[in-house]
Structure 1
């Protein structure tokens, strides 16, 4: 019985939202950025950085909610209610890497 409870808790914990700094960037091809001018790339990066900050704040809140819920009711509520934005955070990080790589390859300031 004790082993079953521990296994169930481990499975639930595995479903918890992760902190943004624990999420790796999803690889994104730079192809669609190659045709952009430096001004467009820099504007794109600024917009993406702003969006990424918002996404990471939401992800941090989801991770904190899951952490609190797990300590009280042993259920990752934020993850179960669709508040986990891990995929979006990873994609956003990947987009920023792709934009930055293109900016660097084009020698934009």
Structure 2
């Protein structure tokens, strides 16, 4: 009986929303941003960083909620409530990475290569 309970809890926890710190960025080609000027890249970076921050916080809440609901009732809720934003977060992180790569390649002010 204990083995069954531990197995069930383990499976439920594995179905939880992933911690945002463990989600890797999805690759986004630099070509999506290559035609932008440094000023446009800077504006895009600010907007994209805000989007990533919002998704990070949303994913963190989903992860915490799942952890607690699994412990309380044995079921992760984020998937059922469409709160798990793992794929969207990974894609948006990838866009921000692409912006940073293009900024560095163009030696835009404020980048590590300037």
Answer whether TM exceeds 0.5 for this pair: yes
Q: 1:6: Cα distance to partner?
A: 3.1
Alignment of structure 1 residues 1-109 onto 2, 5 Å: 1-109=1-109
Q: 1:2: Cα distance to partner?
A: 4.1
Q: 1:89: Cα distance to partner?
A: 1.0
Q: TM-score, normalised by structure 2?
A: 0.88
Larger helix proportion, structure 1 or 2? 1
2: CA distance between counterparts of 1:84 and 1:32? 26
2: CA distance between counterparts of 1:13 and 1:79? 12
2: CA distance between counterparts of 1:25 and 1:9? 29
Count of paired positions: 109
Runs of 4+ in 1 over 4 A off after TM superposition: none
Unaligned runs of 5+ in 2: 110-114
Unaligned runs of 5+ in 1: none
Q: TM-score, normalised by structure 1?
A: 0.92
2: CA distance between counterparts of 1:11 and 1:26? 26
